[in-house]
Amino acid sequence: MRFLLLLLALLLIGAPAAAADKRIALTFDDAPRQRGAYFTPDERSKRLIAGLRKAKVRQAAFFVIPGNFGKNDGVGGEQRIAAYVRAGHVIANHSWSHPALTEVTAADYVANIDRAEQCLKGQPGRRPWFRFPYLNEGRADKAKRDAVRTALAARGLRNGYVTADGADWNMEALTTAAVKAGKPVDMAALRQLYVETMVGAAEYNDGLARKVLGRAPAQVLLLHETDLAALFVADLAAALRKAGWTIITADEAYRDPIGSLHPDVPSMQGTLTEALAWEKGLAAPRWYDRVSPKVADPLFAQRVLGETRP
């Protein structure tokens, strides 16, 4: 009896461990972006910084496209990036002009990275990370994939990989199109769908990673510098914590051993979690269903716009 009571006590003590190892960092691509459905670029940055502060997110990472300075963004792009750094966040390379690796030569792609790095290197808050635009690492072209991997290593850059993706860019695009078309947008429903979808992406990829690795790696959530993020990032952080997640810094997330893995799969595009699951032989689907517009678009139409589709 004494043994059974001791065993029960140990089980109860160990029960929170599964929740305690749910760690996630927030990262934002495509900064600085152009005007969105609701805010100017400057307004969006101020709201995003305030939302992250309210949510007590000590450090997020912004993957920067320097070619957007003074272009999509208008004036103030460099100042907005500097404001993120002053707020405690970090910046990294997302290429000069956001090319898809499958659409250009490896040499031109690396030159694009180098051009961005010349702008970013030495800047406060800069980290030696490169995130592939579109998460496209060459798809089925392994020679191109390996050439870029080699070039990154030679430059002291590491892959700013993603482990969880909810395709927030698609929801932003749907919202922008609805506003331009003059359709009524249910903001409460939009908030709920955004938060629910991003938390769902974290939960799905946590479960997949545990199957593949036998442990819970630090998750890296892909978001974009959007109006929706500016509106709802504090709500997202609160929902993640309610679901048992600890929000960690990008620096901490990229120290996880998962970053040393370089899966060899037939086509490299998407999250690192998906590629590792594929390499291990897990059957498809190995991705969160809402990254597909076939799933996400009807949800948006029904819940946010109140439309019904056959």
Backbone φ, ψ for residue 284 (5° rounding): -70, 155
Here the tokens at position 167 are 């395709």
**Are the CB atoms for 174 and 167 separated by under 8 Å?**
no
Residue 19 lies in a domain: no
What digits encode the pLDDT tens for the residues 279-291? 999 999 999 999 9
Q: Residue 20: pLDDT band by 50, 70, 90 thresholds?
A: low
Over 80: is that where the pLDDT of 309 sits? no
Residue 3 lies in a domain: no
For residues 256 and 57, give the distance between their C-alpha atoms in angstroms, rounded to a whole number.
19
Provide the domain limits for residue 232. 24-303
**Number of continuous H segments (helices) and E segments (strands) in the chain:** 12, 10
The pLDDT assigned to 76 comes to 84
Average pLDDT along the chain: 93
Residue 260 CB neighbours (<10 A): 7
What digits encode the pLDDT tens for the residues 157-181? 999 999 999 999 999 999 999 999 9
Q: Residue 70: pLDDT band by 50, 70, 90 thresholds?
A: confident
User: How many domains is the chain partitioned into structurally?
Assistant: 1
What's the rounded mean pLDDT across residues 34-47?
95
Q: Which regions of the chain does DSSP assign to beta strands (E)?
A: 23-31, 61-64, 90-93, 126-130, 136-139, 158-159, 164-165, 219-224, 246-247, 268-269
The pLDDT assigned to 186 comes to 98
Over 80: is that where the pLDDT of 71 sits? no
Q: Residue 308: pLDDT band by 50, 70, 90 thresholds?
A: confident
The pLDDT assigned to 268 comes to 97
- CA torsion through residues 279, 281, 284, 289, sign: negative
**CATH, residue 209:** 3.20.20.370
What's the rounded mean pLDDT across residues 213-226?
98
The pLDDT assigned to 125 comes to 98
Q: Residue 310: pLDDT band by 50, 70, 90 thresholds?
A: low
- Concatenated DSSP letters for 120-173? HTTSTTEEEEE--GGGEEEET-HHHHHHHHHHHHHTT-EE---SEE--HHHHHH
- Concatenated DSSP letters for 250-271? HHHHTTSGGGG-----S-EES-
Taking only Cα atoms into account, the Rg of the chain, rounded to an integer number of angstroms, comes to: 20
Residue 310 lies in a domain: no
The pLDDT assigned to 1 comes to 42
Reference 204, options 189, 190, 192, 221; nearest CA is 221
What's the rounded mean pLDDT across residues 73-90?
91
**Are the CB atoms for 225 and 31 separated by under 8 Å?**
yes
What digits encode the pLDDT tens for the residues 23-36? 999 999 999 999 99
Residue 15 lies in a domain: no
Residue 5 lies in a domain: no
Residue 7 lies in a domain: no
**Are the CB atoms for 305 and 184 separated by under 8 Å?**
yes
Residue 80 lies in a domain: yes
Residue 1 lies in a domain: no
Is the pTM higher than 0.75? The answer reads: yes
Residue 130 CB neighbours (<10 A): 23
The pLDDT assigned to 114 comes to 98
Q: Residue 106: pLDDT band by 50, 70, 90 thresholds?
A: very high
Over 90: is that where the pLDDT of 91 sits? yes
What percent of the chain stands above pLDDT 90? 90
